């Protein structure tokens, strides 16, 4: 199953700066060897740098992996059919095991009706296999989730439109109208018209997701969603925000991109081109900030795989929208 994380086992690993490929020597630690000594067979060393895997089970992580495997199977099909079959097998296995685990949870978010992770996996498996059981489970769970919180699952619902019939698109329409009401409330909430995170991690990920949702909603329901709202999300990312007005994307922006990020080269007070900062962090009671002279603030400056991927998806959707 999916591990929570790989983490450093010794302090000097955590202080490592530079190319992540050199974080360890790639060999399991052997306590019978001296420091920096390599075994005669070349399969272990005396360097105590092994990473620790936190293996506590989280069904939501398993569902994310299941969605990924199901989608990957389509890309692999025709190129490496054996690997495509393995990906589908693991997707189905992780889905079934996650459902069993969630059924044991008391928290209603893990009820048998499912959550966003479930519906994404059901959708990807339906698209990859064409099996009706996955479509039925997708729709069974989707409307329940949308009724509870349309923002939570609308993007996945929109992703299903090319794969389902016209009646599905029509049934989704009132939820898109509800989402449009949410957009209108954002216009009243702040002068930027976008969701601004108020937690301990700045809201760049939610902003990219918002922009992506606008792009697809405007494509499928142009009579409801004004596509111009997507440009408000990109404007915020590229500098139109309540702090220094620097772009939050390294090397990109009409004014001045940020020049300091938390990444592998953070000790150089530098950046990796294309890295996306989490963004403008809210400090209670009324202060926003994003330091560009001190990289070691994760919630403001750390470029992550998830954050960068969300930005790339948004950028691709925005490019298609503007054609």
Please indicate, yes or no, whether residues 85 and 108 belong to a single structural domain of this protein. Answer: yes
> Please, what's the b/e burial string for 43-74 (b: 16 or more CB within 10 A of its CB; e: otherwise)?
ebbbbebbeeeeeeeebbbbbbbbbbbbbbbe
The structure's pTM equals 0.89
Average pLDDT over residues 16-23: 76
Say which residue the tokens 């990796």 belong to. Answer: 272
Please indicate, yes or no, whether residues 303 and 214 belong to a single structural domain of this protein. Answer: yes
Residue 277 CA to residue 302 CA, distance in Å, equals 6
| Final residue in a domain of this structure, among 148, 180, 207 | 148
Helix (H, G, I), strand (E, B) or coil at 247: strand
Of 76, 83, 22, 29, nearest in space to 52 by CA = 29
* pLDDT at 112 exceeding the cut of 50: no
Domains identified in the chain, total number? 3
Please indicate, yes or no, whether residues 78 and 183 belong to a single structural domain of this protein. Answer: no
Residue 160 lies in a domain: no
Domain of residue 47: give its range.
Answer: 1-56
Please indicate, yes or no, whether residues 208 and 127 belong to a single structural domain of this protein. Answer: no
> Which two three-digit tokens encode residue 167?
């009646």
Residue 142 lies in a domain: yes
pLDDT over 70 percentage in the chain: 96
Please indicate, yes or no, whether residues 80 and 27 belong to a single structural domain of this protein. Answer: no
Non-local CB neighbours of 150 within 8 Å, separated by 6+ positions: 175, 178, 179, 182
pLDDT tens per residue across span 158-196: 999 999 999 999 999 999 999 999 999 999 999 999 999
Please indicate, yes or no, whether residues 177 and 297 belong to a single structural domain of this protein. Answer: yes
Residue 104 lies in a domain: yes
Residue 156 lies in a domain: no
Phi, psi of 279 (to 5 degrees): 120, -145
Helix (H, G, I), strand (E, B) or coil at 283: strand
Please indicate, yes or no, whether residues 137 and 252 belong to a single structural domain of this protein. Answer: no
Please indicate, yes or no, whether residues 182 and 239 belong to a single structural domain of this protein. Answer: yes
Q: What was the pLDDT predicted at 117? A: 64
Please indicate, yes or no, whether residues 217 and 267 belong to a single structural domain of this protein. Answer: yes
Model confidence band, residue 16 (pLDDT cutoffs 50, 70, 90): confident
Say which residue the tokens 């495997």 belong to. Answer: 69
Label the pairing between strands 5-7 and 52-54.
antiparallel
Residue 59 CA to residue 94 CA, distance in Å, equals 8
Please indicate, yes or no, whether residues 288 and 198 belong to a single structural domain of this protein. Answer: yes
Q: What was the pLDDT predicted at 106? A: 61
Kindly state the helix (H) or strand (E) to which residue 6 belongs, with its residue range.
Answer: strand 5-7
Q: What was the pLDDT predicted at 56? A: 85
């Amino acid at each position: 199953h999916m591990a929570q994380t790989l983490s450093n086992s010794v302090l000097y690993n955590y202080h490592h700066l530079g190319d992540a490929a050199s974080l360890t020597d790639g060999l399991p630690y052997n306590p019978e060897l001296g420091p920096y000594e390599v075994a005669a067979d070349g399969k272990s060393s005396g360097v105590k740098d092994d990473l620790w895997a936190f293996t506590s089970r989280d069904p939501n992580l398993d569902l994310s992996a299941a969605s990924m495997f199901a989608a990957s199977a389509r890309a692999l099909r025709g190129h490496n059919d054996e690997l495509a079959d393995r990906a589908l097998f693991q997707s189905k296995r992780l889905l079934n095991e996650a459902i069993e685990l969630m059924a044991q949870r008391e928290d209603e978010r893990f009820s048998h009706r499912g959550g966003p992770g479930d519906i994404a996996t059901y959708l990807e498996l339906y698209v990859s296999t064409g099996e009706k059981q996955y479509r039925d489970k997708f729709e069974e769970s989707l409307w329940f989730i949308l009724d509870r919180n349309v923002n939570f699952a609308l993007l996945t619902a929109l992703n299903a439109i090319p794969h389902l019939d016209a009646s599905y698109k029509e049934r989704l329409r009132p939820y898109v109208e509800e989402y449009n009401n949410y957009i209108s409330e954002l216009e009243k909430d702040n002068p930027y018209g976008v969701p601004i995170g108020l937690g301990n991690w700045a809201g760049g990920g939610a902003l990219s997701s918002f922009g992506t949702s606008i792009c697809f909603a405007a494509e499928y329901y142009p009579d409801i969603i004004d596509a111009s709202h997507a440009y408000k999300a990109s404007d915020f990312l590229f500098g139109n925000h309540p702090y220094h007005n620097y772009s939050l994307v390294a090397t990109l922006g009409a004014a001045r991109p940020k020049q300091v990020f938390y990444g592998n080269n953070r000790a150089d007070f530098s950046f990796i081109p294309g890295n996306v900062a989490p963004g403008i962090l809210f400090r209670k009671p009324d202060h926003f900030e994003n330091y560009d002279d001190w990289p070691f603030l994760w919630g403001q400056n750390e470029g992550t795989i998830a954050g960068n991927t969300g930005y790339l998806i948004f950028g691709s959707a925005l490019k298609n929208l503007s054609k």
